[in-house]
Structure 1
């Protein structure tokens, strides 16, 4: 039911977008369809926290999300993306869901894993399910690709990343639309003194996650609104990305959870991006700790 509602809402807003774009010029339509979707923006941020161990100071994390392969995002673009990721020399890589737009219809699925396997991240590569990874009977297809790619696929569970006698913890939960996310289960046995990073495709689950000992949540799903218009803002906010849809948010009280919502790389439903460029995010950890 939520998926039907989102499609209806998307189409209604898209019609408004078309009217606005055609009211401006055919050039705006061309830009949104053929130019902006290929304008990769690399955003770089420093993440400081007392819980980050000194051993992880200046360690680099790259997040990529929402490729939607098969819907105006192809393997050549993925290959170029991987080259860019490796050129940035990450220590850790996170993929936060929606690899293929329709997994059971994507005929080149067997070519994805050899490309993803090229990603170099000495401290680990991790992935979670998005709604499109479950859709189209895709759950097992996505799992198989990630395992062949040697990504660690987290499904309501956590893992430690250890380096030089210290560690941080990565929590991964299932998708909110088509999966069964369980933050409580995923957070079981977490070390309260550790620096804890949650991967959740759906950003709005941050409200629930803020009740747990989680320092940073990384999400996708929203595409940053995918289509934004001046004075109107984001036109497309799918379910579970209606409250938080782009960039940083602080959620909670005394020790707030930091949420970052990545705009993703591909498109879905309609092949447009407007004022919402595809994004690759680089986070550099900064330790304020004496440990």
Structure 2
């Protein structure tokens, strides 16, 4: 007798990201449908829906849930959930962005999950680099590459994240001149780049001022209404790299701005491209 395949339990952040991505792609869904998406029980889905509703991501419906766009400009969301969402899109963008880096460059990396994907790809290539980052996670990945010099400017760890913000990091960037800045955004609205907090936006501005070349890495879901604090404009950016899920109207808006745009096709397997 053949046994049924063993169910692989997903970590909560991954389950919740799958739920949000399904609702974004397909609209309202029942608990049964969502249980099939995550490969879990209906009771697990109910707990996840309660968590996501309390966190401000969802609105409960009779027997299911509905995704709601962030109603508050200062809505940060959960760090672990942001990392887990749109993972394949971020990986494909990361592979493309890795090709923009050359040996012996100095690069500034913000704490966005798409930048982390890029650094994970570049780390496998082991080209000598100087990496400056406010992300403890990126610093840890970078520290595993013997040919890299890794600099963490300092600051205060934001609750629930591996991100440093505030002094002394901001002042540090005023005294350096890097080759490339890899940066993300919580929202791209027209030509304006925004984040949910003043502190993080201020640090991103300092990072961008300290680099000769600035590359914005954003998945297609980031083209939306602005968040609370602006940190830059697309006119400050040398290249935008995004995925092919971007809506035509957003592509048209980018075409009207004098900025290079690279649209990356999303494929199911990118491991062979990372070597």
Bin the TM-score by the shorter chain.
0.3 to 0.5
Which has the greater radius of gyration?
2
TM-score of the two chains, using structure 1 as the length reference:
0.33
Larger RCO (alpha carbons 8 Å, 6+ apart): 1
Higher helix proportion, which one? 2
